[in-house]
Structure 1
Amino acid sequence: MSVINERIEHILTEVLCRNAGEAEFHQAVREVFESLGRVVAKRPEYAEDGLLERLCEPERQIIFRVPWVDDSGQTRVNRGFRVQFNSALGPYKGGIRFHPSVNLSIVKFLGFEQVFKNALTGLPIGGAKGGSDFDPHGRSDGEVMRFCQSFMTELHRHIGDKTDVPAGDIGVGGREIGYMFGQYKRLTDRFESGVLTGKGILYGGSRARTEATGYGNTYFVQRMLATQGDSFDGKTCTVSGSGNVAIYTMEKVQSFGGKVVACSDSGGYVVDENGIDLGLVKEIKLVRRQRIREYVRLKGGECHYVESGSIWDVPCDVAMPSATQNELTGGDARALVKNGVIAVGEGANMPSTPEAVRVFQQAGILFAPGKAANAGGVATSALEMQQNASRDSWTFERTEERLAEIMHRIHDRCAAMAEDYGVPGDYVLGANIAGFVRVAEAMRAQGVI
């Protein structure tokens, strides 16, 4: 085992040196590699033919200029990215993120995570991610449209329903997907409905896609709680964020009998001990596009807003980090454990720092890692691809039923793999190994490419 671990550590060191300065990517690779000693000890062929090295090197990285003109007539320039990481299981699949923090390291970490997340779904999709440092917040519809058109003018050369199928992510919702799809159609002179997912229902979108990531995370955690004879019913929950993932996490938690008492955005968080008014949050975030602090002004009563600070200081039974990477620190994790948390479900991509994960695991907290728990969004995107390929449209109920089946299957696969490798209840290990084995088997079958 020590020889195997030395081999893995050597490869990891090479990856870190080769991708200098990319902290988020380093974190994602290290987190997966920490689980591989056990699987390589049992299956040493996985360390041959440069498989681990190839797994950490994207098949293609695309960086491009995105010029656009704002409403005042000033020319702006942003940077666009698409990292097509691994296509062993199918066409590249993964979202596009518009946020000032986007850089190559973040896109690579997201793409790397996406490879294993997509593998866990059991569906035939590879892993990719993309985005830009453009910030749509506060921009007019016209500015967002012009940016999206410029972004797609370059990206369209690299995508297609059998090549790479992007979707939305932070900062990219139905509006942005619509503008990008329109520009793709204009440039290619094709109505290729399967080239993007997260589309509007009227032009090829899937019902339940908007809700899928939040719903999926909640289905996973509900299944995880059930292994202990428990459920969301009567539980107090906090959900970070107030975008699509957070909103529909809250919606499904409430449908399971839980009470969400806090949610947040980048400015701060709101606490409502009587239970968050989800209709009001939807009005503020999805219609008015305002900050979450407006909740207190509009709701009144005993709720209150905390500027900055940490939402994880709010006592809860179940924590659902659903905003962004590394939002939940070791200190936050210790505060949650002290206040009695029993389960954590990651709705965002890698929202807990490595220290936070260790704190939860050492305390025996049920912990659902993002690459498993938030796979519902990409799973439903793959279902959208199925509907597009067959020129069909499913009901909301049929799509949600398939989503629930997929999330339960992912949970059970992770739990079984952790059991097989001698660490029952370790969903991080189970998810990493289950995703890795499926991708590794496909890569070995296809030769050194």
Structure 2
Amino acid sequence: MSKIDEKLQPVLDEVLRRNAGEAEFHQAVHEVLESLGRVVAKHPDYANHALIERICEPERQIIFRVPWVDDAGQVQINRGFRVQFNSALGPYKGGIRFHPSVNLGIIKFLGFEQIFKNALTGMPIGGGKGGSDFNPRGRSDGEIMRFCQAFMTELQRHLGEYTDVPAGDIGVGGREIGYMFGQYKRLTNRYEAGVLTGKGLVYGGSRARTEATGFGLVYFVQQMLATKGAALDGKRVVVSGSGNVAIYAIDKVRQFGGKVLACSDSNGYVLDEAGIDLDLLREVKEIRRERLSDYVRMKGATAHYIEGGSIWDVPCDVALPCATQNELTGKDATTLIKNGVQLVGEGANMPSTPDAVDLFHQNGVMFAPGKAANAGGVATSALEMQQNASRDSWTFEKTEDRLAQIMRGIHDNCAATADEYSAPGNYVLGANIAGFARVAEAMQSLGVI
């Protein structure tokens, strides 16, 4: 990791001391502090009010036991988390992740990133994150329902449309949100639609929410390319992952005239020189819930499945990491640069390691950090909250137009902030400073809280 300003080193030292062993959280804090040296030099009052120290310390960390019964009648125990990180701008807002890798450090890293991501949207939402080490893979619908109900039985006491509004994340889609909302309604005896986002359309969900993160990523990338007089039309694109974000990023890239050559899952990746068949990919992943190897079996001659390989070995103009944190390493970045990549846009949360990001900047590769580029999902969640509050339901076109407007605004804000702080084209610095400035201003206004 790069060196941070000496005035901020004590802040990082205290974060490391208080949060031992939480490597992803340390990484996220270091990246932001690295950007804020220029801010402290320009606005020393931020240091005087300990604003940065307060932003790095969650307002509340909740850990709880989740007991549930599997189909064999055996009691299973998982651990649940909710980190309510910062509410200066509004109620805590951030997804729930079900994955065996989930621990407190992962949730704190995600919640910390969420503060700045949510601030960049311009919407009145604070930052938080939650989840469990429950693994939904291979579980029946009944087991997933019972787990979601057990999880919400505890979590519900910490939620509310003016308090904390979760959404989905890895392992948590429309099915899981439905089970959790049903249990929330049952326990509270309130139809409080604004307490969860990512809901089904028939019970308060928003059109375009499913597509929003992937679509928003591509809108952001298109804006970046436009600053160089370029566009996605005719570009060769690689997208890691094959879940919700990846699928809709592929969809929007195709709408803009790009050609997606490859996507991946945890076992390997599919290379399809004819371009990924989106309808077939949706059938395999969303309907059949199968592995990507089945895509190749069903597609035929143009597609190949490379088991255990790195998707970043595929030559491309644009790379969109949409799977998980730290999936794109320095070694992968070196390969992408050698193969002529022009732009990397993060659809997942912190999918590129610090050395990879450094290599992209050093070699003139345009780089879009996740806290800016994948903010379309939470922005549309805030639009869902807006529709719930007004008992309204917007058309898909109205919602997507609003999403596109928000993503353009985020891009322009990040670019202008980078210019202001003498780092033109550095979207990491621009995103960190622009997000921080909005939260810091609110915190100063609210006093020492």
- Flag whether TM exceeds 0.5 (same fold): yes
Distance of 1:405 and 1:187 partners within structure 2: 38
Match of 1:35 in 2: 35
Shift of 1:5: 2.2
Query: Across the two proteins, how many residue pairs are aligned to each other?
Result: 446
Among all aligned residue pairs of Structure 1 and Structure 2, give the percentage whose two residues are the same amino acid.
76
Q: In structure 2, what is the equivalent of residue 443 of structure 1?
A: 443
| Distance (Å, rounded) in 1 between the aligned partners of 2:208 and 2:138 | 27
1: CA distance, partners of 2:308 / 2:398: 41
Question: What is the identity, as a one-letter code, of the residue corresponding to 2:143?
Answer: E
* TM-score, normalised via structure 1 length: 0.99
Which whole-Å CA distance do the structure 1 matches of 2:46 and 2:231 have between them?
Answer: 38
CA displacement 1:46-89 (0-9 Å, x = unmatched): 11222111111000000000111111111111000000000000
Equivalence for 2:131 = 131
- Within 2, Cα distance between the matches of 1:302 and 1:375? 34
> Which residue is 1:342 aligned to?
342
Q: Which AA in structure 2 matches 1:28?
A: A
**2: CA distance between counterparts of 1:300 and 1:45?**
63
- 1:299 paired residue number: 299
Determine the structure 2 residue equivalent to 1:384: 384
Structure 1 residue 303: deviation in Å?
1.1
Alignment partner of 1:283 is 2:295: no
Q: CA deviation at 1:304?
A: 0.5
Instruction: Provide the residue aligned with 1:254 in structure 2.
Output: 254
Q: Distance in 2 between matches of 1:162 and 1:269?
A: 42
Q: Equivalent residue for 1:116?
A: 116
Q: CA deviation at 1:340?
A: 0.5
CA distance in 2, matches of 1:424, 1:302: 41
Q: Matched residue of 1:34: which SS?
A: helix
Which stretches of structure 1, 4 residues or more, deviate above 6 A after TM superposition? none
C-alpha distance in 1, partners of 2:150/2:417? 44
The answer to whether the 8 Å contact 2:5/2:34 transfers is no
Q: 1:200 — aligned with what?
A: 200
Secondary structure of 2:6's counterpart equals: helix
1:90 aligns with: 90
What's the offset of the Cα at 1:296? 0.7
SS in 2 for 1:304: strand
Paired position in structure 2 for 1:398: 398
CA distance in 2, matches of 1:101, 1:267: 16
Q: Distance in 2 between matches of 1:160 and 1:133?
A: 23
Q: Report the RMSD for the aligned CA atoms in angstroms.
A: 0.7
Aligned position for 1:16: 16
- State the alpha-carbon separation in 2 of the partners of residues 375 and 341 from structure 1: 23
What amino acid maps onto 1:447 in structure 2?
A: G
Residue 7 of structure 2 aligns to a residue whose secondary structure is: helix
CA displacement at 1:302 relative to structure 2? 2.4
- CA distance in structure 2 between the partners assigned to 1:104 and 1:306 by the alignment: 34
Counterpart position of 2:361: 361
Q: Report which stretch shifted further, 212-221 or 8-17.
A: 8-17
> Which letter does structure 2 place at the counterpart of 1:217?
L
Distance in 2 between the 1:295 and 1:134 partners? 27
In the TM superposition, 1:200-239 aligns within 5 A as 200-239=200-239
User: Counterpart amino acid of 2:299?
Assistant: K
Q: Which amino acid aligns with 1:401?
A: D
The correspondence of residues 159-198 of structure 1 with structure 2, limited to 5 A, is 159-198=159-198
Which amino acid in structure 2 is aligned with residue 423 of structure 1? A
Shift of residue 264, structure 1, vs aligned partner: 0.5
